[in-house]
Amino acid sequence: MPHVLVVYTDDEPGVLTRVASLIRRRGFNIHSLTVGPTERAGLSRMTIVVDSEAPMVRQAVEHLRKLVNVLEVQQLGERPMVVRDLVLLRVATAPEVRSEVLQLAQVFRAAVVDIADDSLVIECTGSLAKIDALVDSMRPYGILELGRTGAVAMLRGSRKVTPSRSTQSLRTGTGPEAMSV
Amino acid sequence: MSQAGTYTGAQLIWESLIREGVDTVFGYPGGAILPTYDAMTEYSVRHVLVRHEQSAVHMADGYARASGRVGVVVATSGPGATNLVTGLATAMLDSTPLVAITGQVGSALLGTDAFQEVDITGITIPVTKHNYLVTRAEDIVPAIREAFAVARSGRPGPVLVDITKDAQQGRATLDWEAAVPQRHLRHLPAPLDPVVLAQALDLIRAAKRPVILAGHGIQLSGARAEVLALAEKADIPFALTLLGLGAVPATHPLSLGMMGMHGESWVNRAIQEADLLLAFGMRFDDRVTGKLKEYAPNAKKIHIDIDASELNKNVPVDVAIQADLGDVLRALLPQIEVADRSPWLDTIREWRGDSAVRDIKNLPDDGHLYAAHVMHDLWRLTRGEAVVVTDVGQHQMWEAQYYHHDGERSLITSGGAGTMGFALPAAIGAKIARPEAEVWVVAGDGGFQMTFAELMTAVQENVKVNIAVINNGFLGMVRQWQAMFYEGRYAATPILSPDFVKLADAFGIPGQRVETRSDLAAAVARARAAEGTALIEFKVEQEDSVYPMVPAGAALHEMIRRPSVLAETGSDPV
């Protein structure tokens, strides 16, 4: 069963390796892992979707909490949350099916971001299930290329989970400037 | 310090180490760490030159385990750094606080496969608590300061700081106060929860057959007095893990002895039949639990550990407390009720009775020398007061069974990793940390041959350790498994050794060979009296096995007992 983890880390070289290495060690398959900056400089936020049994995931969370670069780990899933994924799809569109594909895209509120003679590039944001459904519906026309960002997740409601500033890194990192992903 | 208040990076390394209280480092020089070695001459630090970098980590490990201080290693880039890996893994699994400083090629060359360049921070991620790649002189002090804080805090462990040559050669100012580490404080245990403590107290109060499982965490927490106070007040016996030996005294009336794969039958039986286990700073390793599904099936379990990831990992528990053990016990003690659990203790004593007579140490001296004799006699002759550093294998288990450790930090052994070759270098480190202590190496003929080049380090550094090589001509523990589980096919386990007496002579140290028990005491006396390091080779029974034994994967009560034929007549010549 997929579990969604949100991990706050220092924005430093090597952090991604440490986190991924820990998860690999217990043999988890990472569904998706996204990382990017947050509202605060020096703080990165990862959303990790892993496929494993709940006790194993709890164990991984405790291991992640031991990393010096990790400020906080949230295991979402029990609480209401928003999970979003973005997909870019290049779909084959022979002239006779082009309008069908455009209509379908509209149903999913997906945007057409590029048009070529025999294909379209469609962009869509939504829950994992919605993206899966869009991809399935386009499959019969021929998917030429597909790229997904992986999930970004956030709790609903007013509760803010970004950890407090007090334990943030004093150091600015010791290598090439920022972690590139 | 020359140019207007600045230091070289190399000087900053030593300035930082000295401020962290370091007076001894274990290392080996090389190209990428040369600026640091050059700067070392300006500081009063003892440098112990090893013969292989792996031994430098084991020495620092022995130093740290004997003293409770952080052990420090210095090595160069490339092979110098990769040779540290086994030692770091050993320290990681046994929670030893270490800081390893490695040189690295210049930052402009990183990632180019330059001469002696390896990605040591990449390689050591899984075997360190944390590591650093430092490419600028101004980052050296914060990195080293944080490295010490991380190594010491929470569950201790090794930290590696990889410093490029240009960072060592660059210049920066020294601002110690600005480099106060913070990040190790991120994951401190939450304050003790009175509700959880009350649950623990209820379980203890209700228990009729409780057993304390005493682990390495007792020594790391410094909670010996608290554990003993609780055990005595509530009348609860304690079983020890291998690394827990010495954490509480072996000769204490409530001590049961070592648990697990080679624990005595009454110890494992007490655990299996307990109605409450109190796990203090131990981690339910597979060597102590046997088959998890059948482990202590009727026991409630209280687990106290500083590392939250150990709680509910192997064994689901009823009360899990992530905290420093001493803190928890100090909170519990005033509310622990004085109890008398003599029916339970009597039951265990009965189980003990029938096992004790099978004990190999009671064998008469019929001209054969058993390793168990050696351990038992060493214990008697040193009055149990030595610091014993063991290697890995049969002798390690026999030592754990027959050398009764009363003092804290008196047994140093590679438990989690089971690293052969550990004993001699770790013993040298232990002796340097505690020069007043009598230090014994107990090693097998296999493990001793892995790192015996460090004899020369002991000679060069004027370190006296006494060495007992238990020579049975086999990689004995593996041979035992082959005999028991592989139908006696001794694949690659017979091993030849050099003439250890001549070998000792080549290193300029006294060597002796003992083949009968009657020669043992005099040889030990001569070794102890020798001014420097001395070696005794004990030629013991070749195909002797360690009993009792819980086969891997079997339940803890399914032990292979000692063959009772050994115990026809009991006598004890020492």
Strand partners, A145: A90
User: Is residue B2 very low, low, confident or very high in pLDDT (cuts 50, 70, 90)?
Assistant: low
- For residue A167, the tally of other CB atoms under 10 A from its CB is 16
User: Tokens representing B484?
Assistant: 């028991």
pLDDT by residue (tens digit) across B365-420?
677 899 999 999 999 999 999 999 999 999 999 999 999 999 999 999 999 999 99
Strand partners, B322: B305
Number of H helices, E strands in chain A: 4, 9
Whole-angstrom distance, CA of residue B248 vs CA of residue B239: 10
The question of whether B294 is a catalytic residue gets the answer no
Q: Which helix (H) or strand (E) holds A49?
A: strand A43-51
Check pLDDT > 70 for residue B255. Answer: yes
Which residues in chain A are contacts of B176 at CB distance < 8 A? none
Site of tokens 């928003």: A82
Whole-angstrom distance, CA of residue B64 vs CA of residue B409: 10
Nearest residue, CB atoms, A62 vs list B142, B182, B308: B308
Check pLDDT > 60 for residue B573. Answer: no
User: Average model confidence (pLDDT) for chain A?
Assistant: 87
**Cβ-based neighbours of B8, under 8 Å, separated by 6 or more:** B35, B39, B137, B168, B169, B170, B171
The question of whether B115 is a catalytic residue gets the answer yes
Q: What is the DSSP string of B220-252?
A: HHT-HHHHHHHHHHHT--EEE-TTTBTTB-TTS
Interface membership of B540 toward A (CB under 8 Å): no
The amino acid at B519: D
pLDDT by residue (tens digit) across B506-520?
999 999 999 999 999
User: Is residue B572 very low, low, confident or very high in pLDDT (cuts 50, 70, 90)?
Assistant: very low
User: Is residue B353 very low, low, confident or very high in pLDDT (cuts 50, 70, 90)?
Assistant: confident
Interface membership of B135 toward A (CB under 8 Å): yes
Whether residue A59 and residue B313 make contact (CB cut-off 8 A), yes or no, is yes
**Cβ-based neighbours of B131, under 8 Å, separated by 6 or more:** B120, B121, B124, B125, B159, B160, B161, B162
Q: Strands of B130-134's sheet, edge to edge? A: B46-49, B24-27, B71-75, B98-104, B158-164, B130-134
Whole-angstrom distance, CA of residue B325 vs CA of residue B221: 6
**Cβ-based neighbours of B168, under 8 Å, separated by 6 or more:** B8, B9, B10, B13, B33, B35, B36, B103, B137
pLDDT by residue (tens digit) across B35-69?
999 999 999 999 999 999 999 999 999 999 999 99
- Burial level of A77, CB count in 10 A (0-12/13-18/19+)? middle
Whole-angstrom distance, CA of residue B511 vs CA of residue A137: 82
**Cβ-based neighbours of A158, under 8 Å, separated by 6 or more:** none
Q: Are strands B46-49 and B276-280 parallel, antiparallel or unpaired?
A: unpaired
**Cβ-based neighbours of B571, under 8 Å, separated by 6 or more:** B362, B363, B364, B365
Shortest alpha-carbon distance between residue B441 and chain A (Å): 35
- From B15, B26, B40, B53, active-site residue: B53
The question of whether B422 is a catalytic residue gets the answer no
Q: What is the DSSP letter of A164?
A: P
Q: What is the DSSP string of B438-455?
A: -EEEEEEHHHHHHHTTHH
The question of whether B165 is a catalytic residue gets the answer yes
Angle between helix axes B325-332 and B194-206 (nearest 10 degrees) is 70
Whole-angstrom distance, CA of residue A167 vs CA of residue B185: 7
Shortest alpha-carbon distance between residue B366 and chain A (Å): 52
Whole-angstrom distance, CA of residue A141 vs CA of residue A131: 16
User: Average model confidence (pLDDT) for chain B?
Assistant: 94
**Poorest-confidence range of A59-73, B106-120, B201-215?**
A59-73
**Cβ-based neighbours of B511, under 8 Å, separated by 6 or more:** B500, B501, B502, B503, B504, B505, B534, B535, B536, B537
**Cβ-based neighbours of B530, under 8 Å, separated by 6 or more:** B464, B466, B509, B510
Cβ atoms of residues B249 and B224 within 8 Å: no
Cβ atoms of residues B101 and B30 within 8 Å: no
The question of whether B53 is a catalytic residue gets the answer yes
The torsion defined by the Cα of A169, A173, A177 and A178, in degrees rounded to 10, comes to -50
Per the model's pLDDT, the better-predicted residue between B281 and A158 turns out to be B281
Site of tokens 């869009």: A134
Cis peptide before B297 (omega within 30 of 0): no
Interface membership of A63 toward B (CB under 8 Å): yes
Which residues in chain B are contacts of A167 at CB distance < 8 A? 182-183, 185-186
The pLDDT of residue B359: 61
Interface membership of A18 toward B (CB under 8 Å): yes
Nearest residue, CB atoms, A18 vs list B125, B142, B154: B125
- Interface confidence, given as ipTM, is 0.88
**Poorest-confidence range of A54-58, A156-160, B57-61, B452-456?**
A156-160
pLDDT by residue (tens digit) across B460-508?
999 999 999 999 999 999 999 999 999 999 999 999 999 999 999 999 9
The pLDDT of residue B220: 97
Considering only CA atoms, give the Rg of chain A.
19
Helix (H, G, I), strand (E, B) or coil at A72: strand
The pLDDT of residue A168: 45
Nearest residue, CB atoms, B135 vs list A59, A71, A175: A175
